[in-house]
Amino acid sequence: MKKIIFSLFVALSSVTTVQAADANAGKEKSAVCSACHGPTGVSASPMYPNLAGQNDAYIIKQLKDFKSGARTDAMMAPMAANLSDADMADLAAHFSGLPSANEQAAASAGNGESTDSAVATAPAGNVEIVSSTPAAAIYKGDVAAGKDKSAACVACHGADGNSLAPIYPVLAGQSANYLAKQLADFKSGERADPVMAGMVANLSPEDMDDLAAYFAVQTAKTGTGEINEAGHKLYIGGDASSNVAACIACHGVSGKGVKQAGFPGLTGQSQEYLTKQLVSFRDGTRGNDNNGIMRNIAIKLSDAQIKDITQYITSLK
């Protein structure tokens, strides 16, 4: 009953006034969306619509329809599945308040800047992000300085970030944004690990960026595990019966992640490490994922599903 009253309240207030929606909260929640719709709501790929300057009521209706299945799209269904009415209103307030694509183009033409924004290329799960900017813009840190600083990491993560023992994650080729975030999270305690806490205690933000840059440009080894059919299905299609989002939407068709969005690559990680992370997201002992993006997914996974999906991921090349 409480729930009904609450959703009535949200529905009424979004009709009569937009006060319930919070554009700033929407901006925070939109981090996931930017991988495809662009950080300013203007998409760099013709496969993804612009959201900047769109009418807010229209955005809300589309999100509701993707969630209910009235509008079907393999990429948007998992995105909308976890959004509450309040999330939708906040996101709509954020995107509708952004200057439209034409206004943004006029503004950047005005100050003579080239469009150096990230370019999202191929759609349909293959959302690898390439950038027209030099590597320096992607890897904030200094690769050479990172190499020097990485001496302390070699014992566990290997000289080139390809760890030898299955309990140590592979860092080679990982998203630099993601790596830097993990190091900061280990330091703040948001991601708890007694071993890594000691490693990062004396690292400055600059050290973290340098280390992230160094490991990000190393070549990752590919998976050598056997394919698992049930895991494959779950990876590409999710599980409609328990509302599990498809991993492919964020981790990519070959498990390489979406680098600039900070969605990590999973390819090359051991089944042991992957299992530990999914179980930790599920029981909340790992809670450093923004907006609970992974906790909301892992909580719906059974032990058997975790076994299947981690086995499948080890087969990705």
Give the shortest CB-110-to-ligand HEC separation in angstroms.
Answer: 27
Is 179 in contact with 214 (CB distance < 8 Å)? Answer: no
Residue 283: Cβ within 10 Å count = 12
Give the shortest CB-118-to-ligand HEC separation in angstroms.
Answer: 13
Among candidates 133, 216, 125, 211, which has minimal Cα distance to 175? Answer: 216
| 139 lies in the binding site for ligand HEC (CB under 6 A) | no
Distances (CA, A) of 257 to 56, 129, 153: 30, 9, 23
Q: How many residues bind ligand HEC (CB under 6 A)?
A: 58
Choose, by CB under 6 A, the member of 23, 86, 118, 127 that binds ligand HEC: 127
| 138 lies in the binding site for ligand HEC (CB under 6 A) | no
Among candidates 84, 64, 262, 284, which has minimal Cα distance to 179? Answer: 262
How many residues in the chain?
317
Choose, by CB under 6 A, the member of 130, 133, 289, 295 that binds ligand HEC: 289
Q: How many angstroms separate the CA atoms of 69 and 33, rounded?
A: 19
Choose, by CB under 6 A, the member of 168, 260, 268, 314 that binds ligand HEC: 168
Question: Which of residues 8 and 222 has its CB atom nearest to ligand HEC in the complex?
Answer: 222
Distances (CA, A) of 112 to 106, 107, 160, 176, 263: 10, 9, 40, 29, 32
Choose, by CB under 6 A, the member of 81, 89, 138, 171 that binds ligand HEC: 171
Give the shortest CB-2-to-ligand HEC separation in angstroms.
Answer: 26
Question: Which of residues 112 and 194 has its CB atom nearest to ligand HEC in the complex?
Answer: 194
Is 115 in contact with 182 (CB distance < 8 Å)? Answer: no
Task: Convert 251-264 to b/e letters by CB count within 10 Å (16 or more is b).
Answer: bbebbbbbbbbbbb
Question: Which of residues 135 and 155 has its CB atom nearest to ligand HEC in the complex?
Answer: 155
* Per-residue tokens: 128: 């690898």
Give the shortest CB-140-to-ligand HEC separation in angstroms.
Answer: 15
Question: Which of residues 7 and 242 has its CB atom nearest to ligand HEC in the complex?
Answer: 242
Pattern 212-231, ligand HEC, x by CB under 6 A? --------------------
| 21 lies in the binding site for ligand HEC (CB under 6 A) | no
- Chain residues 233-252 in contact with ligand HEC, contact rule CB under 6 A: 244-245, 247, 249-251
Q: How many angstroms separate the CA atoms of 206 and 187, rounded?
A: 13
Question: Which of residues 8 and 84 has its CB atom nearest to ligand HEC in the complex?
Answer: 84
Q: How many angstroms separate the CA atoms of 223 and 5, rounded?
A: 50
Is 63 in contact with 80 (CB distance < 8 Å)? Answer: yes
Distances (CA, A) of 269 to 25, 155, 202, 293: 34, 17, 27, 20
Pattern 22-61, ligand HEC, x by CB under 6 A? --------x-xx-xxx---------xxx-x-------x--
- Residues in contact with ligand HEC by CB under 6 A are 30, 32-33, 35-37, 47-49, 51, 59, 62-63, 73, 75-76, 78-79, 91, 123, 127, 152-153, 155-157, 167-169, 171, 179, 181-183, 193, 195-196, 199, 211, 244-245, 247, 249-251, 263-264, 266, 274, 276-278, 288-289, 293-294, 297, 309
